Structure 1
Amino acid sequence: MSQKTFGAMAEEAHRAVPTIKPADLQRRQKKEADLLVIDVRDAADIAQTGTVPGAVNLSFGALTYLADNEVPESWRDPRLADRSQPIITTCILGPLGAIGGKLLHDMGFTNVQILEGGVQAWIEAGLPVVKNGAS
């Protein structure tokens, strides 16, 4: 049985799900009220580095059931009810965000993109972060 590494899963995700550059994401956030940005890291990690303004924190582990229409309704996140809603996933450097984006893609979400380079690329582009605005 072959093993899949974290890096291999991230590469596979990048082949399946398109990326978006930080400046393009910022432009889209200003125009698209229904755009959902999801930071898939644990809340403690986001508190240390900050995240994209307006991003919601749905950790990768929780995303597996929060986005599932077949689990009890109380387990789901209502923001993930619409499978065609535009969603951008991110983490600090990109790989976990990519894997989160592919998870949503595999679950039937049709309009998912990955923030290229993650929050670090956002910061390097000179864009602002929020430290405790993620919810």
Structure 2
Amino acid sequence: MAITFKQMVGQARENVPAISSADAREKINANPNTLVIDVQDAAAAGACGLIPSSMNISLGMLPIRADLELPESFREPELADRNRPVIITCGAGGQAALGAYLLKQMGFTDVSFIEGGTNAWKEAGYEVEK
């Protein structure tokens, strides 16, 4: 039976924790090693704005960049440590949930996503970079 995007997001939400923008900001401030990844396509992330110090890796490229068995030229070095705290975001949170679940399946032990994504971050009054 086919599965919809909404069902995939629901499954992801059952398996990885959503955190509020305030909790995400607190975690980032408490641990500078926390990696924040925006999984929107570059054009969408640029239009929405990026959380300061975050990196943009599209959802489609995330499993490639995180795969330790691929050649180094394909990998993102920041994703080598599976115990590093990682927070995933996107515009509204759906893609972020999928990205966080994907990383959890790949062995990341401390991964979460921002409930409401970068839009919620901005609505909370926190800064974004264009």
TM-score bracket relative to the smaller structure:
over 0.9
Distance apart, 1:122 and its partner CA: 0.7
TM-score (norm 1): 0.93
Cα distance in 2 for residues equivalent to 1:71 and 1:4: 29
* 1-structure distance, mates of 2:103, 2:51: 19
Amino acid at match of 2:15: A
Structure 2 counterpart of 1:55: 54
1:35 deviates by 0.1
Q: Which runs of 4+ in 1 moved over 2 A?
A: none
Q: How many residues align?
A: 130
> What secondary structure, in the 3-state scheme, does the structure 1 residue paired with 2:73 have?
helix
Match of 2:31 in 1: 32
How far, CA to CA, are the matches of 2:71 and 2:51 in structure 1?
30
Q: Deviations over 1:36-80 (max 9, x none)?
A: 000001111111110211110011111121000111121111000
**TM-score normalised by the chain length of structure 2:** 0.97
User: Percent of counterpart pairs with the same letter?
Assistant: 45
Whole-angstrom CA distance in 2 between matches of 1:70 and 1:3: 30
In 1: Cα distance, 2:64 partner to 2:45 partner: 21
Q: CA RMSD in A?
A: 0.8
| Structure 2 stretches lacking a partner, 5+ long | none
Tell me the distance in 1 between the aligned counterparts of 2:69 and 2:36: 23
